[in-house]
């Protein structure tokens, strides 16, 4: 942000709002008056990303892939199309979704080195750390160190692949199904899947560990 004259102001003179909040309000009211934006559309969008779209969506995709090999094949072939089968729409930031399968020998991890590209339809909006300079740079320079800080130490024999998201390509990781989950149904499996496991900074824990925490 620029504008030296603004910095000369005291932002705390009992103004109803100040700083970026004031700036955004000014922009929104002007755009509404010009008929360029509908405040109801803004409300609906905020509600969608605060309450409706989130990692639970991706968890349903993962669970379906675990129980249905044919779906899994379609997911790996074209994730943007396959997610429609679990009632999701590719929508914004999901048009070119690609699913990356973790195996016993390959672990995938996703980053956006330039900004914050992320597969919104399946994971919602990215966590703070995903947008941080540290993650954006160190996921590339020291990915195993990053995973260690997330509490994940990959065996040396596992190949770690780091994928850089872009406007054209969004990735989600298809984590490995934990052992001991053969008796679980799709819904129960979905409850095990964490957000971080679909970014690749975590793995899905076996149900005993999950059940113990809550």
Partner 1 sequence: MKLVAPPAGTATAPGSANTAEAVFAEPWEARAFALAVTLSGGEHFAWDDFRDLLIAEIAAGDAAAANAGPARLPDDTAAAPYYERWLAALEKILCAKAMLNAEEIDLRAAAIAASPPAPTKAQGRGPIKIA
Count of residues near partner 1 by CB under 8 A = 73
The residues pairing with 108 across neighbouring beta strands, listed in sequence order, are 161
User: Residue holding tokens 């130490």?
Assistant: 153
Q: Under the criterion CB under 8 A, does residue 46 sit at the interface with partner 1? A: yes
Q: How far apart are CA 44 and CA 47, in angstroms?
A: 5
Give min distance, CB of 82 to partner 1, in A: 18
Helix (H, G, I), strand (E, B) or coil at 170: strand
- Whichever of 119 and 124 has its CB closer to partner 1, that residue is 124
Helix (H, G, I), strand (E, B) or coil at 164: strand
Q: Under the criterion CB under 8 A, does residue 89 sit at the interface with partner 1? A: no
Q: How far apart are CA 189 and CA 193, in angstroms?
A: 7
- Whichever of 13 and 104 has its CB closer to partner 1, that residue is 13
- Is 112 marked active-site? yes
- Whichever of 70 and 128 has its CB closer to partner 1, that residue is 128
Of the candidates 167, 165, 168, 160, the one whose C-alpha atom is nearest the C-alpha of residue 200 is: 160
Q: How far apart are CA 188 and CA 33, in angstroms?
A: 49
Q: Among the options 18, 115, 137, 166, which is catalytic?
A: 115
C-alpha distance from residue 113 to each of 137, 140, 145, 177 (Å): 6, 8, 17, 28
Helix (H) or strand (E) segment spanning residue 150? none
Give min distance, CB of 198 to partner 1, in A: 8
Q: Among the options 2, 18, 116, 165, which is catalytic?
A: 116
- Can you tell me which of 30, 81, 89, 140 binds partner 1, judged by CB under 8 A? 30
Q: Under the criterion CB under 8 A, does residue 81 sit at the interface with partner 1? A: no
Stretch that binds partner 1, among 64-72, 80-88, 101-109, 114-122 (CB under 8 A): 114-122
* Joined tokens for residue 32: 């509404």
Q: Among the options 18, 112, 141, 165, which is catalytic?
A: 112
Q: Under the criterion CB under 8 A, does residue 185 sit at the interface with partner 1? A: no
Q: How far apart are CA 169 and CA 98, in angstroms?
A: 7
Residues 115 to 154 in contact with partner 1, rule: CB under 8 A: 115-117, 124-125, 127-129, 131-135, 138, 145-146, 149-150
Give min distance, CB of 205 to partner 1, in A: 5
Catalytic residues: 112, 115-117
């Amino acid at each position: 942000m620029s504008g030296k004259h603004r910095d000369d102001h005291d932002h705390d003179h009992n103004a109803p709002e100040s700083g970026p909040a004031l700036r955004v309000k000014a922009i929104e009211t002007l755009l509404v008056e010009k008929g360029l934006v509908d405040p109801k559309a803004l409300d609906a969008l905020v509600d969608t990303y605060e309450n409706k779209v989130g990692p639970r969506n991706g968890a349903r995709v993962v669970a379906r892939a675990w129980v249905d090999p044919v779906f899994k094949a379609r997911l790996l072939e074209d994730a943007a199309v396959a997610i429609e089968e679990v009632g999701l729409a590719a929508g914004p930031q999901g048009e070119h979704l690609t699913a990356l399968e973790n195996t016993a020998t390959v672990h995938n991890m996703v980053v956006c080195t330039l900004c914050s590209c992320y597969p919104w339809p399946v994971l919602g909006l990215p966590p703070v750390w995903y947008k941080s300079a540290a993650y954006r740079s160190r996921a590339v320079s020291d990915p195993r160190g990053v995973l260690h800080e997330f509490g994940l130490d990959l065996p040396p024999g596992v190949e770690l692949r780091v994928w850089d998201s872009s406007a054209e390509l969004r990735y989600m990781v298809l984590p490995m199904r934990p052992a001991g989950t053969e008796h679980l149904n799709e819904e129960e499996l979905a409850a095990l899947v964490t957000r971080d496991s679909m970014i690749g900074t975590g793995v899905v824990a076996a149900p005993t560990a999950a059940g113990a925490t809550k």
